[in-house]
Amino acid sequence: IDVILPENSKVVVRSSVLDIQGKITVPLSSELIFGEKTNGKIEFHANGFEVNGALVAGSETCLIEHPIEITLHGTRPTDVVTNPPDNSYKGINVGGNLQLHGKQYHRTWTRLAKTVNA
């Protein structure tokens, strides 16, 4: 079943949505916000997202500490570049704002000043 968020709304997801949703549409004036779940990850299953407003997880000052797992179901058309997808398309189309702020990991590599001989 396709889901269209109400205009001028902020919808917060704080628990898993295990039933497969259809296409989730976020209108220009609305936000779909993935909040923090303190006792584990949030799982969300959908065919796709049409984000004209905002899809948000965390913020620069409030990083998400627990996993958010979004599983997309459906098929990807072989001609996706030349032929625009229909409603059954598996993907996230963002015409608005996408903000994903997760736990910060420190890099495990370093930049060398010059080439190293092997």
pLDDT tens for 33-68 read 999 877 889 999 999 999 999 999 999 888 898 999
Q: How far apart are CA 12 and CA 34, in angstroms?
A: 6
pLDDT tens digits, one per residue of 26-40: 999 999 999 987 788
Phi and psi angles of residue 78, each rounded to the nearest 5 degrees, phi first: -70, -25
pLDDT band, very low/low/confident/very high, at 86 (cuts 50, 70, 90) = low
* Burial of 32: CB neighbours in 10 Å, binned 0-12, 13-18, 19+: buried
What's the chain's average pLDDT? 88
